[in-house]
């Protein structure tokens, strides 16, 4: 009977302990170039590029085709910035 309660409790504890706590590299912009997005304009993003929402109300439409290395993003509302991966 006790196992019935302990196992789910431990599982929940482990799942919550693993969440959050990203490293500083999660927000590191590095030496890449910055592009401020304009509403209703499409941008092609590549692996390594990062998209930052500048306001909480930002809405971005992302289109990706399976098998393609690129995606297309479009700013619908708010403000966002694309940080392009540097080409070292």
pLDDT tens-digit profile of 27-86? Answer: 454 567 999 999 999 999 999 999 999 999 999 999 988 888 899 999 999 999 999 887
In this predicted structure, what is the pLDDT of residue 63? 92
In this predicted structure, what is the pLDDT of residue 85? 82
- Backbone phi, then psi, for 69, in 5-degree steps? -85, -10
Q: What gap in Å lies between CA 4 and CA 56, rounded to an integer?
A: 41
In this predicted structure, what is the pLDDT of residue 21? 46
In this predicted structure, what is the pLDDT of residue 17? 47
CB under 8 Å to 32, separation ≥6 — which residues? 49, 50, 83, 84, 85, 86
């Amino acid at each position: 009977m006790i196992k019935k309660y302990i196992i789910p409790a431990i599982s929940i504890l482990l799942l919550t302990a693993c969440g959050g706590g990203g490293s500083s590299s999660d927000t590191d912009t590095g030496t890449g170039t910055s592009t401020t997005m304009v509403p209703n304009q499409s941008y092609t993003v590549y692996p390594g590029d990062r998209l930052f929402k500048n306001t909480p109300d930002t809405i971005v439409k992302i289109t990706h085709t399976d098998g393609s290395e690129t995606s297309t993003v479009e700013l619908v509302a708010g403000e966002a910035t694309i940080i392009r991966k540097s080409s070292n």
